[in-house]
Amino acid sequence: MKYRQLGRSALKVSELCLGTMNFGPRTSEPESFAILNAAVAAGINFIDTANQYGGHLGVGATESLLGKWLAEDPARRDRVVLATKVHEPMSDDVNDRGLSARHIQMACDASLKRLGVDHIDLYQMHHIDRSAPVEEIWQAMDRLIAQGKITYVGSSNFPGWKIAQTNEKAIAGHRLGLVSEQGLYNLIERRAELEVIPACHEYGLGLIPWSPLAGGLLAGAPQDPGGRRQSEAMKTAATGRSDQLSRFEALCRDLGEAPGAVAIAWLLHQDGVAATIIGPGTPQQLTALLRAPSIALSDEVLAQFDLVFPACGPAPEAYAW
């Protein structure tokens, strides 16, 4: 496993970040533990979750599952970079959501309790909150840092303008500011190249792409009869992109590599990517994805991918002049 700096921070994270959204609601606790153990054994030191994850088990269920795994071996906590998120509704209470200073403080305390840890390495704002002044957000984050409850602050699903606004306020207050942005980015969905990635470059944020396989479209022929690729929405999407996907899979065959691993390798070849989220549902899927960081893609091959999945154009000038 290779490691990269998380943005302009000195923190080193593995190129693959283990996403846990399915742990609990889709992947059983024993199988989730098996994936976590295999990931750590393979050198993955970056684990991402969110306080809302839990699906039908209820919000917070995934953090609680991770807490049980961490408690099995106290040494695990110091070996992993632990990331979680705040913003999404945690109950019907009107104040139990968003990015008010009150909610950020309460949500962090609740996450720490579920995870069974005394600090979170990377605390990420899951979405923007247009009602929350940036000054209020930084007030809350400053307090959590001073209390030793969080170390770094990151964003998730932020547009470029919000990254700029948030970090300009941080600079004015002599803060480190955001060190990462976790956003939607893959071969099919490349709009992040227009504004988000340029903003990350300008302010020194490490990009952490989520959905690297575009919901399974880039994973190749579906093997799991109950997987997401079998849903009606995904079948429709696959039909609409059948030519693109066929050309992509043909390129992967020429490389002698599995499509899913190639799609992740492509992301790791993009400037500014610190790590990419992977969300294996089984240990076997994890094993297949571990191949990705070792796949080298030449400039010629990368250009071929651009022909199949065109870039958005010179960013942000693709639509500005």
d(CA 211, CA 216): 8
Separation between Cα atoms, residue 90 and residue 102, nearest integer Å: 14
Whether 44 contacts 14, CB under 8 Å = yes
How far apart, in whole angstroms, are the C-alpha atoms of residue 301 and residue 74?
Answer: 44
User: What's the token pair of residue 24?
Assistant: 């609990």
> What single string gives the DSSP state of each residue in 274-316?
--EEE--SSHHHHHHHTTGGG----HHHHHHHHHHS----STT
Cβ atoms of 228 and 234 closer than 8 Å: yes
45 touches 79 (CB < 8 A): yes
**Token pair of 319 as six digits:** 């639509």
Residue 53 and residue 91: Cα distance in Å, rounded?
13
Q: Give the C-alpha separation, 77 to 69, whole Å.
A: 10
The DSSP element (H or E) to which 242 belongs, if any, is helix 242-255
Q: Is 185 a catalytic residue?
A: no
Rounded CA separation 139/101 (Å) = 7
Active site residues: 53
